[in-house]
Structure 1
Amino acid sequence: MLFDKPFKLGTTSFIFPDHIIPNVKKLGAFFDEIEILTFESQRPDVLPSKQDVKELLYLSQSQDLTYNIHLPYDVSLTCDSKEKRGKAAEILLKVIDLFEPLTPTTHTLHLDMPADLKKDMGNQTKFKKWGKNTCQGLEGLLSGQINPGIISIETLDYPFSLVETIVEQFELSVCIDAGHQIKYHHNLMETFEKHKFRTPVMHLHGVAFLDQTIKDHTSLDQLPEKYVRQIQTILKTFTGVVSLEVFNLENLNRSLIVLSKIFNNIAPEINNK
């Protein structure tokens, strides 16, 4: 039995090894939304130009397409340096302003946690310092008079419960990355039930549990069956955007095949033309 798809289906702007606009031109007819990847911000000309944004706006209108933005994570709002946090807020605000004409569904943000803290979670001194830095970084970002609800904090490798209070305090949204929840053995169903009312977008990708390693951002057919069932349960009621966060055509097509066995109106296999 196939279920009607209640969510908007999207994927990333890097399925084909090319720039954002060629990807949108090739993918826009098949998806409801494109996740524009702006992982980097430091190298010259790494971000789209204002003219690129105008073309993206035209493509959205001609293809009945919306966008969400993955904000850069080569800058950090949570680091120890006040100067670097301020610079990060400045850069992130410029990116948000750049894409403002597209009226994105959301801007996804990483609140990174240093490796030494992740290895020493019981250290309250370190954790409180990180929490204070994070709050100050967010204050710098939100001082730009943006609506905090357009910022979605992504679930990463640490338990999301560690930032729930901050998310609520600043009235932020949530990006549930289902693949991260599965890879790092967090409780995906619990996270969804707790935060679905503030989640405009979910990242969905496969996780392969190999002999020595765990590989994520692969195709959905790599997921163990128990996680496929969890995904099915969640997606049957989720009305936001589901972004297939993969980065090549093979993983995208194999993921679409998995979803097409569960839901109606899933994009057909996409060819490399």
Structure 2
Amino acid sequence: MPCKRRFPWRLGATSCVLPADIMTNVRALAPLVDDVQLLFFESAAKSRLPQPFDVQALREIAEAHSLSYTVHLPTDLALGASARVERQEGIAEILRLMAQLAPLGVLSFDLHLLREPDLPEAAWLENLAASLEELSGALGAEKRLVAVENIEYAFGLVAPLVEEYGFPVCLDFGHLVHYGHDLENGLGLLSRVRHLHYHGVWDGRDHQALNDAEQAGMLGRRLAEVGYDGVVTLEMYSLEKLKGSLALLDTAWQSFSRR
């Protein structure tokens, strides 16, 4: 069910809804959605299964289908690690990917600030502060593209650092639900949100198809109230789940349709 140019915000999907490479996924999704989130689960140096992609071909697909891209940065970047060399490797990987993908005009690079379980909280936060300061200095104005995502711990732990060093927020609404975090506190960040992830939670499992039309309607109203015009990515990893979610939103977000 195509949802291109349907809502005041751009509706997106991940580059992992088919059991195939990035290019195959992007070609399949381009007629259906406004944005594709390019997923990089591992940094290049640690990847056991590198995913080949062609930046020029991705750009041509985008131009042909009025498509934009967001990027999920590797989830193995340890910006809070105790070893400075490990932190700098993470920063270097962010800068490398951003440079490589610059021709695509990526709208958001989503970043996890992993909790270091072997470090006291204060030491972890001190290391994160040093990394974010260095990354902010290296990026300059481009830091507006790197959005820090809420994950399993309460976002309030890192929110002051994210704001201090000038990074926007990637709000994962599904994570708020899955980890039992306060929805109102999370939605209170919308004025700072550059990218929003949305997915269902079934039987304690995350990244499932959407199944709560009432919740979807509430989220749509909140997005409309703040005038959100960024990307809402349906962050799930099968075409069946994506199509079911698009069908639910076709009804739940009908009042926000621009058609």
TM-score by length of 1: 0.84
- Displacement of 1:144 after TM fit? 2.5
- Displacement of 1:45 after TM fit? 6.8
CA-based RMSD: 2.0
Contact 2:220-2:253 within 8 A present in 1 as well: no
Partner of 1:234: 222
Which of these residues, 199, 202, 221, is aligned with residue 196 of structure 2?
A: 202
Q: Matched residues in 1 for 2:237 and 2:199: separation?
A: 10
- Displacement of 1:56 after TM fit? 0.5
- Displacement of 1:231 after TM fit? 2.5
Do residues 263 (structure 1) and 259 (structure 2) align? no
The runs of 5 or more residues in structure 2 that have no matched partner are 1-5
Letter in 1 for 2:198: L
Letter in 2 for 1:39: F
Give the match's secondary structure for 1:95.
helix
Which of these residues, 125, 135, 139, is aligned with residue 129 of structure 2?
A: 135
Q: Matched residues in 2 for 1:185 and 1:230: separation?
A: 17
Contact 2:151-2:175 within 8 A present in 1 as well: yes
- Displacement of 1:230 after TM fit? 3.5
Give the match's secondary structure for 2:252.
coil
Q: Matched residues in 2 for 1:32 and 1:7: separation?
A: 9
Give the match's secondary structure for 1:144.
helix
- Displacement of 1:226 after TM fit? 6.0
Which of these residues, 136, 139, 148, is aligned with residue 153 of structure 1?
A: 148
Partner of 1:176: 171
Q: Matched residues in 2 for 1:57 and 1:228: separation?
A: 31
Q: Matched residues in 2 for 1:5 and 1:190: separation?
A: 25
Distance 1:23 1:166, change over 3 A: same
Which of these residues, 175, 192, 209, is aligned with residue 219 of structure 1?
A: 209
Distance 1:53 1:262, change over 3 A: same
Correspondences of 1:42-121 after superposition (within 5 Å): 42-43=46-47, 46-49=50-53, 52-115=54-117
Give a deviation string over 1:16-51, Cα, whole Å, max 9, x none. Answer: 1111111111111111111110111222672545xx
Distance 1:47 1:97, change over 3 A: farther
- Displacement of 1:242 after TM fit? 0.4
Contact 2:168-2:194 within 8 A present in 1 as well: yes
Partner of 2:183: 188
Which of these residues, 37, 40, 47, is aligned with residue 38 of structure 1?
A: 40
Which of these residues, 22, 25, 38, is aligned with residue 23 of structure 1?
A: 25
Give the match's secondary structure for 2:130.
helix
Percent identity reads 30
Letter in 2 for 1:244: L
Contact 1:189-1:230 within 8 A present in 2 as well: no
Q: Matched residues in 1 for 2:154 and 2:101: separation?
A: 30
Letter in 1 for 2:210: L
Give the match's secondary structure for 1:145.
helix
Partner of 1:167: 162
Give the match's secondary structure for 2:78.
coil
Distance 1:175 1:197, change over 3 A: same
Give the match's secondary structure for 2:81.
coil
- Displacement of 1:234 after TM fit? 2.6
Give the match's secondary structure for 2:138.
coil
Contact 1:6-1:235 within 8 A present in 2 as well: no
Give the match's secondary structure for 1:153.
strand
Contact 1:37-1:69 within 8 A present in 2 as well: yes
Distance 1:44 1:93, change over 3 A: farther
- Displacement of 1:229 after TM fit? 4.8
Give a deviation string over 1:181-216, Cα, whole Å, max 9, x none. Answer: 0111111232222x21221210000011x2xxx101
